[in-house]
Structure 1
Amino acid sequence: MDNQEIRNLEPKALWNKFADLNAVPRPSKKEDRVIAFMKDFGKNLGLETIEDEVGNVIIRKPATVEHKDKKMVVMQSHLDMVHQKNNDTEFDFDTQGIDMYVDGDWVRARGTTLGADNGLGVATIMAILESNTIEHPAIEALFTIDEETGMTGAMGLKGGILKGDILLNLDTEEDDEIGVGCAGGVDITATRSYNEVSVEKGMVGYEMTVKGLQGGHSGMDIIRGLGNANKIMNRLLYNASTNFDIGITSIDGGSLRNAIPRESNAIISVDENQVAAFEADFTDNASAIHGEYKTLEEKLELSIKKIDAPEKVMDLEDQEKVLKSIYAAHNGVYRMSPDIDDLVETSNNIARIILKEGKIKIGCLTRSSVDSSKDDLANTLTAVFELAGFDVELSGDYPGWAPNMDSPILKVLEKMYIEINNQKPHVAACHAGLECGILGKNYPEMDMISFGPTIKGAHSPDERASISSAQKYWDFVIEILKDIPKAS
């Protein structure tokens, strides 16, 4: 893997650190290597470097001479990245670095997620820590772990460790946006067992496939109405079970809770006397679904392939309950914010369905900027699944970040953005989960803001980072650090 073309991009300080970081495997919950990498980085610079009890890394750098009287700034990004790849891509995230390339104004990865979320934020902080020429106040660099699958790093950071007055979170994905709030979330896991029966003679096996969907971030992209492979697969299975004698052997759809599922596969059996009608009906249903998604999901593929008949299938009574519960479970936008234009308030992503050998597990991520609305949707999903005999567990609950439109650092960023770009930024809350709300629990007096370069397709293999935006964002960061208010 040669990422030299990435290292030659401007600003070189940023892209070189990003290339260094992307050479280190860093899946969520497996951050040992990137934690060691970051600790070595700080120590090699001669800077105070600590690892807290959960694995967050904090590196402190004194102010440059001109800014010793300024407030201390916490610059924060998360070390882990979402690992997604296309089915036909051979790649081992546990051992390989990301293979990047330049495509016009975009940096992409070959068949995998890029890690710009939140690697560009991490690289920004690294470049500033390493620089001998950038002016800045005293900095506490906070590199959190496991943001993508539980925010356990932010949750585990104890009060009193950080000394900074202002937190700059570098995890927003549009360069004209300044983030002042975000959604909280809760993981919903529904599990149950089911009875298996032997497949009778005269049945034909089929492999049913849904693939080619865009996927994407289950918070930021949920408003787009993209296809959810789990819901589409369930629709196909439900229609088939209504009209024909079928049995389901397995379903394997989606992957991570925070990624809209792109692919799903199922193994079923069909009565051999109904094969022709079943295939014709599948074609009709597939055509209808293609028609609904033709402007959003041009690469959607729905297919069936004859295979050997499976040995066992789900009992018909259990099959009916499972299919109906997934059909009834809400997916997508649940409520738009009545207070902020175009902001999704509450949503759910049916992210993962795995059914095989007598057990089924369904994983969802419910998000909301309003806790009571989050609880309402969680109750809705719990009720649906419990009616179908599932056990439902809620876990990983984390708070949202309430907007503060009177924030002093917001005023600094707004003023600086206008001076640099001759236009106003878009000040907004987002439907993603940022760590600011969690960090604010233990640091309620800290003034927080979020911003970043333009990144598209996060949490999917289509993830890409804008080169021109990275330069714009870098210039913005440098000027912000010069304009931090004086300590009182």
Structure 2
Amino acid sequence: MEIKDLKPALIWQCFDEITKVPRPSCHEEQIREYLIDFAKKHNIDYKTDKCGNVVMRKAATPGHENAPTVILQAHMDMVCEKNSDVEHDFLKDPINTYIDGEWVKAKGTTLGADNGIGMAAAMAVMIDDTLEHGPVEALFTINEEIGLEGAQNLGEDMIQGTMLLNLDSEDDGEIFVGCAGGIDTTAVFSYKKSVAPEHFDYLKVSVSGLLGGHSGSDINTGRANANKLIARFIWECSQKWDVVVAEFDGGNLRNAIPREAHAIFGIHTEHKEAMKKHLAKYIEEIKNEYKGVEPVMNFEIEKVERPEYCIDSETSLALVRALYSAPHGVYSMSRDLEGLVETSTNLAAVKMIEDDKIRVTTSQRSSVESRKNDIAGQVEAHFQLAGAEVSHSDGYPGWAPNMESPIMKISADAYEELFGVKPAIKAIHAGLECGLFLSKYPHLDMVSFGPTMTGVHSPDEKLLIPTVEKFWQHLCRVLTKVANS
């Protein structure tokens, strides 16, 4: 069976089509054209703004013209991650999906259910003539995954609704009414090239197979950070022997916990065997530390050709020390909502870039604005001490819960009516576009919900099939209840 044959038919058919359209962040041209063609094909009123967002509008079913207008909101872009042994061009290739029991998965890449299934639900509402609803708008935003650009720059005349359903959550049975704000902190090291010394053996040490995951919703799982594992090993070696570093690379995305990293380093030939023994001990220790958390952890070491140049010793040691000691993970827990991470930071990516520089990307989140700025400041100070130049992104606001929200009550009642259990009302330690929408449209009443998916922002991403039907039923019931409210 293919995913287009699953039920409910409309939402799965739309999702199947979406997986065939390349849509990396900053490259939403093809998916935007697909949405416009979809609107034209079905005679749906649509509009775009200068930023590249798309909104579609559907009139109310007869008799519900005066009901509140509901905005269905999802983002166009997807996180593009793949396993290192997979050949896939995210700018050209469709996602290779398959069904595994009750799950939809992709072969070696992210699936894009975040937020493709939300897009599919909104599109299905637009073309389903059997539904009872008031006026509906479907808003599709760009570049959510790299800084919420579409929400940041949403055209003033794009939406008219007063209730917004964000379709970008990842757990059935949960309705989200708040989210964290975020900011990115980038450190850049400048180095001088030094001739790679002779009488050294040069080796590439790498780690792969880690779970990684979303730097917001998965940050409290205690999963390993590939950048820190490699930095820790190099640092330990540097405490015993003279070490030179030629290359360091790890992670890719600001909002993903890094799963893979490697370094090329040199050690005097006479110390190579002792270093290998130390690595074996190190691997044993690390696997014990993450026992029960990281089921697969692949360390490899291989000899490489002597490089022409290395990073100068002062900068390489400063880099390794900074990466090893950099804050990463949960900083504080919420005092208001049990089990909610309040503040965290992610040591996301390390890249060698042009002009003899090394860029370290980190991301901070908090549901408390001052704490967000505090942890970003601590990360800044940390890398300044190491000699790096540090900058911050503009950041984005959080979304404070409104426990008196009418749409929250409608959504909760709809879920209980359908499935006989009360949904959990929660806030999420991840960035949703809702905070930015609220800053532009203070009158908006919002919730966020969606089907169950796991492993988002990694090639382990998968979507639980039975919860998609529940998601669809819940969405339709909410629209009907709003129409009759």
- TM-score category of the 2 structures, normalised to the smaller one: over 0.9
How big is each residue's C-alpha offset from its partner over 1:388-416, in whole Å with a ceiling of 9 and x where there is no partner? 11110101410000100000011111111
**2:238 aligns with one of 237, 241, 255:** 241
Q: How does 1:207-222 map to 2 (within 5 A)?
A: 207-222=204-219
- Equivalence for 2:346: 349
Check whether the contact 1:71–1:486 (CA below 8 A) recurs between aligned residues.
Answer: no
Check whether the contact 1:158–1:442 (CA below 8 A) recurs between aligned residues.
Answer: no
**1:65 aligns with one of 62, 67, 91:** 62
Q: 2-side partners of 1:166 and 1:47: how far apart?
A: 20
Q: Which residue identity lines up with residue 101 of structure 2 in the other structure?
A: G
Q: Give, in angstroms, the shift of residue 327 of structure 1.
A: 2.0
Q: Which residue identity lines up with residue 431 of structure 2 in the other structure?
A: G
169-178 or 295-304: bigger deviation? 295-304
Q: Give, in angstroms, the shift of residue 354 of structure 1.
A: 1.5
Q: Give, in angstroms, the shift of residue 110 of structure 1.
A: 0.6
Q: Give, in angstroms, the shift of residue 456 of structure 1.
A: 0.7
Check whether the contact 1:247–1:269 (CA below 8 A) recurs between aligned residues.
Answer: yes
SS where residue 189 of structure 1 aligns?
strand
- Equivalence for 2:467: 469
Q: 1-side partners of 2:42 and 2:476: how far apart?
A: 20
Q: Give, in angstroms, the shift of residue 67 of structure 1.
A: 2.2
How big is each residue's C-alpha offset from its partner over 1:310-356, in whole Å with a ceiling of 9 and x where there is no partner? 22222222222222212221001111111110101111111100137
Where do 5+ consecutive residues of structure 1 fail to align?
none
SS where residue 270 of structure 2 aligns?
helix
**1:432 aligns with one of 430, 433, 438:** 430
1:288 aligns with 2:285: yes
Q: 2-side partners of 1:274 and 1:35: how far apart?
A: 56
Q: 2-side partners of 1:444 and 1:159: how far apart?
A: 13
**2:457 aligns with one of 446, 456, 459:** 459
- Equivalence for 1:478: 476
Q: Which residue identity lines up with residue 77 of structure 2 in the other structure?
A: D
1:89 aligns with 2:71: no
Check whether the contact 1:268–1:310 (CA below 8 A) recurs between aligned residues.
Answer: no
- Equivalence for 1:337: 334
- Equivalence for 1:107: 104
Check whether the contact 2:174–2:425 (CA below 8 A) recurs between aligned residues.
Answer: yes
- Equivalence for 1:204: 201
**2:387 aligns with one of 381, 389, 411:** 389
1:447 aligns with 2:420: no
Check whether the contact 2:189–2:315 (CA below 8 A) recurs between aligned residues.
Answer: no
295-304 or 20-29: bigger deviation? 295-304
SS where residue 239 of structure 2 aligns?
helix
SS where residue 188 of structure 2 aligns?
strand
Q: Give, in angstroms, the shift of residue 20 of structure 1.
A: 0.8
347-356 or 24-33: bigger deviation? 347-356
Check whether the contact 2:47–2:158 (CA below 8 A) recurs between aligned residues.
Answer: no
SS where residue 51 of structure 2 aligns?
coil
Q: 1-side partners of 2:447 and 2:222: how far apart?
A: 28
- Equivalence for 2:175: 178
Q: 2-side partners of 1:82 and 1:352: how far apart?
A: 14
- Equivalence for 1:364: 362
Q: 2-side partners of 1:131 and 1:201: how far apart?
A: 70
Q: Give, in angstroms, the shift of residue 199 of structure 1.
A: 2.0
Q: Give, in angstroms, the shift of residue 486 of structure 1.
A: 5.7
- Equivalence for 1:309: 306
Q: 1-side partners of 2:408 and 2:222: how far apart?
A: 31
Q: 2-side partners of 1:36 and 1:365: how far apart?
A: 31
Give the direction of change, closer, same or farther, for the CA distance of 1:256–1:105 in structure 2 (3 Å limit): same
1:254 aligns with 2:259: no
Q: 1-side partners of 2:344 and 2:257: how far apart?
A: 12
Q: Give, in angstroms, the shift of residue 238 of structure 1.
A: 0.5
- Equivalence for 1:52: 49
Identity %: 43
Q: Give, in angstroms, the shift of residue 44 of structure 1.
A: 1.7
- Equivalence for 1:5: 2
RMSD value, Cα: 1.2
Q: 2-side partners of 1:375 and 1:68: how far apart?
A: 45
Q: 1-side partners of 2:429 and 2:361: how far apart?
A: 19
75-84 or 62-71: bigger deviation? 62-71
- Equivalence for 1:231: 228
Q: Give, in angstroms, the shift of residue 309 of structure 1.
A: 2.1
Q: Which residue identity lines up with residue 286 of structure 1 in the other structure?
A: I
Q: Give, in angstroms, the shift of residue 161 of structure 1.
A: 3.0
Check whether the contact 2:194–2:309 (CA below 8 A) recurs between aligned residues.
Answer: yes
Q: 2-side partners of 1:112 and 1:124: how far apart?
A: 22
Check whether the contact 1:382–1:392 (CA below 8 A) recurs between aligned residues.
Answer: yes
How big is each residue's C-alpha offset from its partner over 1:225-266, in whole Å with a ceiling of 9 and x where there is no partner? 101101111101111111111100001100011111000011
- Equivalence for 1:165: 162
455-464 or 411-420: bigger deviation? 411-420
Q: Which residue identity lines up with residue 364 of structure 1 in the other structure?
A: T
Q: Give, in angstroms, the shift of residue 48 of structure 1.
A: 1.3
Q: Give, in angstroms, the shift of residue 447 of structure 1.
A: 0.6
Q: How does 1:108-187 map to 2 (within 5 A)?
A: 108-187=105-184
415-424 or 460-469: bigger deviation? 415-424
190-199 or 345-354: bigger deviation? 190-199
SS where residue 213 of structure 2 aligns?
coil
Q: 2-side partners of 1:255 and 1:28: how far apart?
A: 13
Q: 1-side partners of 2:311 and 2:96: how far apart?
A: 42
SS where residue 93 of structure 1 aligns?
coil
**1:409 aligns with one of 399, 404, 407:** 407
Q: Give, in angstroms, the shift of residue 160 of structure 1.
A: 4.0
Where do 5+ consecutive residues of structure 2 fail to align?
none
Q: 1-side partners of 2:432 and 2:209: how far apart?
A: 29
SS where residue 422 of structure 2 aligns?
coil
Q: 2-side partners of 1:459 and 1:160: how far apart?
A: 32
TM-score w.r.t. length of structure 2: 0.98
Q: 1-side partners of 2:120 and 2:293: how far apart?
A: 33
Q: 2-side partners of 1:242 and 1:311: how far apart?
A: 25
Q: Which residue identity lines up with residue 129 of structure 1 in the other structure?
A: M
TM-score w.r.t. length of structure 1: 0.97
**1:275 aligns with one of 254, 272, 276:** 272
SS where residue 393 of structure 2 aligns?
strand
Q: Which residue identity lines up with residue 356 of structure 2 in the other structure?
A: G
Q: 2-side partners of 1:82 and 1:66: how far apart?
A: 41
Q: 2-side partners of 1:180 and 1:481: how far apart?
A: 18
Check whether the contact 1:403–1:429 (CA below 8 A) recurs between aligned residues.
Answer: yes
Check whether the contact 2:132–2:483 (CA below 8 A) recurs between aligned residues.
Answer: no
